Chains A and B, each alone.
Chain A
Amino acid sequence: MSKTLTRADLAEAVYEEIGLSRQDSTELVESLLDTISSRLAQGQSVKLSSFGAFNVRDKNGRIGRNPKTGEEVPIEPRRVLVFKPSQVLKDRIDGKLSK
């Protein structure tokens, strides 16, 4: 379908829409992702209104199974990141794509 966007496309959007220099635009994209990542790496969640929330969740250990061999494999307790899209984002996407 449409193409995949990367950091460069986000920086281009900032450059075009705000009129900051290309270097500042690139650095802002990087800083934004870094700042969010650092928070999450401290085990804290990040809520961005009208976009969504990045929540950190602790999972218990459990016995998993290798689906190919049927072999039991222990899965260690771990901490994972879950993105919960806001209702605004969900409505925006579903409104445009679903019939």
Chain B
Amino acid sequence: MIKSELVEQLAEKHPHLPQRDVERAANVILDTIASALEEGGRVELRGFGAFSVRHRPARVGRNPRTGESVPVKEKHVPFFKTGKELRERVNASREA
């Protein structure tokens, strides 16, 4: 499923709302999560999961081809930990 299909389904579930508002709302939700992470914050959505930022310190890497040492800068990467309920539901789909 891609974002446009997600918006379509949301609009079907909320027929009294203009589809344009539903689309803007979906974007605001995702953008609010991104903004929180940008500030180094967390977003906890019970049953779904939690978004956070992980820090990867600077390190000395190696060019695997030449064996040469190269400095790798520190990095901050977004991380999602699946919530318990969703994790169980996803795993249950194996048998289905």
Contact = CB atoms under 8 A, between A and B. Distances in A.
Contacts of B45: 6-7, 33
How big is chain B's contact interface, by range? Answer: 35 or more
Interface residues of A, number: 58
A2 B36 contact: yes
A13 to B, nearest CB: 4
B14 A92 contact: no
Contacts of A42: 93, 96
A62 B81 CA distance: 22
A99 B28 CA distance: 28
Interface of A: 1-7, 9-10, 13-14, 17-18, 20, 24-25, 27-29, 31-33, 35-37, 39-52, 54, 56, 58, 77-81, 83, 85, 89-90, 92-94, 96-99
